[in-house]
Amino acid sequence: MTVLWDTDPSSRDRYNFALGEGTRVVESAALVSRALQDGTEILVVIGPDIDLQAVCDLADQLRVDRPEVGVVMLRRRLEVTLLAQALRSGVREVVAADDLTGLADAVRRSRDLSVKFAGHTTELGSTEGRVVTVFSAKGGVGKTTFSTNIAAYLASDGARVLLIDLDLAFGDVGISLQMLPQNSIADLIGMAGHIDEQAIQSVVTSHESGLDALCAPAEPSDADRVPGQVVAEILRVARRTYDYVVVDTPPAFTEHVLAAFDSSDTLVLIATLDIPAVKNLRLTLDTLDLLGSPREARIVVLNRSDAKVGLKAEDVVTAIKQDIAIMVPNSTAVPASVNRGVPIVLDEPRHPVSVSLKRLIDEHMREPVKGHNEGVSVGAQSRPDGAKVRRTDGWSLLRGARR
């Protein structure tokens, strides 16, 4: 049953399409609390004329006392300051009062999230999800293609997947999946320190494959407004809600990327058969050693591995002094799938590229990576000179090394 807090007597009939039969209408916050006492209601919808501060007070109280109860607020005008204040207080979604379809969708999402909070999750959801970060220090090697395909394949199998675009200035996750995101990671800046599952759910964009995407800001200038601490907070909260969190990255060791490294269970490091890419991969591995990143969590992938460009996979192994876990062949079908906005693992599941990508996922992501580099402990990593590197916060360590 849904509790509708509204002072308009005709509100039940007006919102019946979105809320369904059996909606209980009340006229005050006290009556809302009383209606929630039996513990069966999991949704409160609040009418457009209820005072904003009263709504925020109720949402803030429910977030602590009854986190499984969702609050959806209706407003006649959607303003940025109003949205920020409401979401910061724990309101799951804010919907235009005349948008009944949007309200129905918000109600469905809130109820689904409430079921998870109530403990009716699968066994997989009872533990924290895995964070997979896809990285290369060189652009153009296929990071976004890998990220979108990994996320889509996992989601197509029924896993709850969040794909985060950390290329905050020029991210292509949204356009690669032909999505039109209304929100981005920048919308969480004002909630720093108070980001929760409801906040993330309110800004993600859902894809037909089943994955949720937290896209990069539309304006490159917004990239500098996103602190590294917000990225760390998002990852910490997201892994409690999702089975997998896949992170696409820019080709640089930014504050945001280092925050992702610190939170990741698996690092997918991509190179191609060209000297700049191999050189940057070697430098990336050295930097990760310096940062204390666990070697057994790294997966080296050679993309376009059969390209006839004068280098061979053996040359890459010699240069980086590490085995290649997966080799993905070159194919014009990959950019064609990107142009269609459909991940190739879903569009052409038997294609050699798809087979390689699925092998990467099935062998290295569904279970904790074991024995990828034998003899390397998680707590302390060995450097080439034999010294031990203590794992610490990557950003602060790298900044200190640059001084």
CATH of the domain at 42: 3.40.50.2300
Domain boundary pick from 117, 139, 163: 117
- Burial call 92-114: b when 16+ CB within 10 Å, e when fewer: bbbbebeebebbbebbebbeebb
Q: What is the structure's pLDDT at 146?
A: 96
Q: How many CB atoms lie within 10 A of CB 151?
A: 33
Q: Are residues 136 and 82 in the same domain?
A: no
Domain boundary pick from 98, 117, 136: 117
Residue 242: both structure tokens together:
């999702």
Is residue 368 scored above 80 in pLDDT? Answer: no
Q: How many CB atoms lie within 10 A of CB 385?
A: 5
Query: Which domain covers residue 10, as residue numbers?
Result: 2-117
Q: Are residues 187 and 331 in the same domain?
A: yes
Is residue 388 scored above 50 in pLDDT? Answer: no
- Burial call 346-357: b when 16+ CB within 10 Å, e when fewer: bbbeebebbebb
**Quick one: average pLDDT of 214-235?**
89
CATH code (residue 393): 3.40.50.300
Q: Are residues 181 and 246 in the same domain?
A: yes
Euclidean distance between CA atoms 183 and 186, whole angstroms: 8
Q: What is the structure's pLDDT at 251?
A: 93
Is residue 104 scored above 60 in pLDDT? Answer: yes
AA identity, residue 275: I
Euclidean distance between CA atoms 225 and 290, whole angstroms: 28
Q: How many CB atoms lie within 10 A of CB 275?
A: 12
Q: pLDDT category, 118, cuts 50, 70, 90?
A: low
Q: Where are the alpha helices (DSSP H) in 66-221?
A: 80-89, 100-117, 143-156, 173-176, 197-203
Q: What is the pLDDT of residues 135-147, one digit of tens each?
A: 999 998 999 999 9
Q: pLDDT category, 13, cuts 50, 70, 90?
A: confident
CA distances from 252 to 148, 202, 256 (A): 19, 29, 10
Domain boundary pick from 89, 117, 145: 117
Is residue 194 scored above 80 in pLDDT? Answer: yes
Q: Are residues 107 and 132 in the same domain?
A: no
Euclidean distance between CA atoms 232 and 224, whole angstroms: 16
Question: Helix, strand, coil % (nearest 5) of the chain?
Answer: 45, 15, 40
Euclidean distance between CA atoms 201 and 262, whole angstroms: 23
The number of folded domains in the chain is 2
- Are 222 and 185 in contact by the 8 Å Cβ rule? The answer is no
Euclidean distance between CA atoms 254 and 166, whole angstroms: 10
